[in-house]
Structure 1
Amino acid sequence: MQQTLKPAAEGLRTRVFQIIFESDTPLGKGFDVALIIAILASVGVVMLDSVAAFRTQYGTWFYWLEWGFTLLFTLELAVRLYCLERPFQYLRSFYGIIDVIAILPTWLMLIVPGAHSLVVVRLLRVLRIFRVLRLMQFVGEGRLLLEALRRSVRQIFLFFFSIFMLVTIFASVMYLIESPEAGFTSIPQSIYWAIVSLTTVGYGDVVPITPLGKAITVILMLIGYSIIAVPTGVFSAQVIRSIREERYSDEACPGCGHDRHEKRAKYCLQCGTWLDEESEDPNATGPQG
């Protein structure tokens, strides 16, 4: 979405657009670095404020720092909208939504009721951790990871659906075998036990007591060990595929037909043929008489 954004007009807005949305200039890179530091610092303040000892001693500092970061990010969002031709297009994008989420909780605190609503305020403050998601726009390789996730959605969904059927079957069997005293009071409770066992976490709050139940638990744990790498393998394969498509070209060599060349390659790796058919080989020699 960000690649389709355009500046509002020539002049100051275009210059501001180049600084904020592009990073191929010294000012643009400096803006990105400063914004990253501000995001990390604001998230650090939220984390420290969640520690009771720090909040008791430095609560006032955290409060004013939070308002400082909120005003800074609010101003940044306003400048972004100011320099865009279609500001609402950015607000509907992923990073635009994250920008709004990052500043909204603090402003909501102004209208939230007082002492009896402190719990609500604390819940709203947690939303500010979403600022860290904005760091994704500064990572060039993040696009490859998102592309790999997009391609893996169907396989991962099929994997989780299969896991859900597996844990439902095991949970139903254990509900029939084990007694409520062991913790298997319902099929949903048994599904919870099956998921904990399949992931080899084993909290120990629901434990089979019959020999048959223990044997089924062992089988479920072994299955968990054997399939835990499946989604990782699927995602890794898609990441490798994305990297290859980013680096290599599918165009075949006009000489030998080899089609796995780097996009910057000028000559075929196999036969040395000039690959760009739209231009002449600068090193080619003319016909000899």
Structure 2
Amino acid sequence: MNHLPRPAGEGLRTRVFQIIFESDTPLAKGFDIALIVAILASVLVVMLESIESLRADYGTLFFWLEWGFTIAFTLELAARLYCLERPLQYLKSFYGMVDLIAILPTWLALLLPGAQTLVMVRLLRTLRIFRVLRLMEFVGEGRLLIGALKRSSHQIFLFLFTVFMLVSIFASIVYLIEPAEAGFTSIPTAIYWAIVTLTTVGFGDIVPVTPLGQAISVMVMLIGYSIIAVPTGVFSAEVIRSIRADRYSDEACPGCGHDRHEQRAKYCLLCGTWLDEDSPDPQLSEEEQEAWWEEHGGKGNDA
């Protein structure tokens, strides 16, 4: 169950809460925008540091910049926990875990060199931009896609299992046919070749050299072209079904029986009949509306 964060008390904590967790004031929105800019800048520093030539020239600068961002984000997380009524509950939430994970890599680098490259997870914190720019409707669209993916998971799993069986069979045959010199030294290696061939990637590091092995390669590639769109089609069908269920109503029109109307539709698309069975058609005269209310419970005085 999701719980909205609440301030711990009046005064300073409430003021800090309004700045950090809300975005309906210029100061709060400025804080969110500055935070997103800092997140992107810290990720950019990690990217640039991975380039050897830049690391050789600016390694010290990158080091202090990364520590500066980490200390700033640590203080920001401390401020979030300070102003909340239930700080531990926030840490268990999605954003709380992301905030915590975003600062851990640099601190862990004190014990595990190289761990600071994991700060790329900070990009997840930029999801706050949806709240800043009033784009929360896109979150709903994302939930629709996740729901469609969950509903199609069984079909996709069955498809992938079938593909794996085909890959294993073809790989075993090619392993028996091709010499070890061609690179087919084991069945797992042959499975790797079959997957690369089925997905039409074709790295070319392992290639059949016998005519029969090349013929099997052609079959695998053709099968790959034939079935590669299957999971996409299954997922797309679920997305379309979700959109229709969310947008359209299954209630039939009392006039013509048509049952594919949008949720907010007031009149039938085909015959123009009033669709709301709980209220009279506002186009009716007052006498007709009174008669409708009397027929449906005598609520004409409340209309």
Conservation of the 8 A alpha-carbon contact between 1:182 and 1:208? yes
Percent identity reads 70
Q: Which amino acid aligns with 1:121?
A: P
- Asked if structure 1 preserves the Cα contact closer than 8 Å seen for 2:108 and 2:116, the reply is no
Q: In the TM superposition, what whole-angstrom CA distance separates every residue of 1:268-287 from its partner, at most 9, and x where no partner exists?
A: 33333444444454443222
Task: For 1:9 and 1:215, locate their aligned partners in 2 and report how far apart those are by CA, in whole Å.
Answer: 70
Alpha carbons 1:5, 1:86 under 8 Å: kept = no
Q: Which residue of 2 is the match for residue 109 of structure 1?
A: 109
Q: CA deviation at 1:101?
A: 1.6
Q: Does 2:22 correspond to 1:5?
A: no
| Distance across 1 between alignment mates of 2:31 and 2:92 | 23
Aligned to 2:301: none
CA distance in 1 between partners of 2:26 and 2:263 (Å)? 28
User: Does the CA-based 8 Å contact 1:167-1:195 persist in structure 2?
Assistant: yes
> What is the deviation of 1:172?
0.9
Counterpart code for 1:126: T
Q: Answer with 1 or 2: which has the greater Rg.
A: 2
User: Is 22-31 or 277-286 further displaced after alignment?
Assistant: 22-31
1:47/1:185 CA distance change after superposition, 3 Å: same
Q: 1:29 to 1:165 in 2, by over 3 A?
A: farther
Counterparts of 2:254 and 2:14, CA distance in 1: 44
How far apart in 2 are the matches of 1:9 and 1:254?
A: 54
Taking the aligned partners of 2:78 and 2:16, their CA distance within structure 1 comes to 12
Shift of 1:183: 1.2
Question: What is the rounded CA distance, in whole Å, between the counterparts of 2:246 and 2:25 in structure 1?
Answer: 24
| Distance change (3 Å), C-alpha of 1:81 and 1:155 | farther
CA apart distance, 1:77: 2.4
Rounded Cα–Cα distance in structure 2 between residues aligned with 1:279 and 1:65: 64
Distance in 1 between the 2:268 and 2:233 partners?
32
TM-score, normalised by the number of residues in structure 1: 0.82
How many residues end up aligned between the 2 structures?
279
In 2, distance between residues paired with 1:157 and 1:17?
Answer: 44
Give the TM-score taking structure 2 as reference length. 0.79
Alpha carbons 1:42, 1:66 under 8 Å: kept = yes
**How far 1:215 sits from its partner (Å)?**
0.3
Give the equivalent residue in structure 2 for 1:134: 125
Contact 1:5 1:84 in 2 (8 A): no
Cα distance in 1, alignment partners of residues 85 and 53 from structure 2: 47
1:58 and 2:58 aligned: yes
SS at match of 1:270: coil
Query: Is the 8 Å Cα contact of residues 267 and 273 (structure 1) preserved in structure 2?
Result: yes
For residues 172-183 of structure 1, the aligned pairs below 5 Å read: 172-183=172-183
2:171 corresponds in structure 1 to 171
The equivalent of 2:34 in structure 1 is 34
Q: Name the aligned partner's letter for residue 108 of structure 1.
A: L
Which residue matches 2:45? Answer: 45
1:116 maps to which residue?
none
Contact 1:101–1:127 (CA under 8 A) maintained in structure 2: no
Q: Tell whether the 8 Å contact from 2:171 to 2:191 is kept in structure 1 after alignment.
A: yes
Question: What secondary structure does 2:237 align onto?
Answer: helix
Deviates more, 1:72-81 or 1:172-181: 72-81
1:264 matched residue in structure 2:
264
Say if 2:255 and 2:271, in contact at 8 Å, map to a contact too: yes
> What amino acid is aligned across from residue 104 of structure 2 in structure 1?
L
Q: Which runs of 5+ in 2 are unaligned?
A: 131-137, 292-303
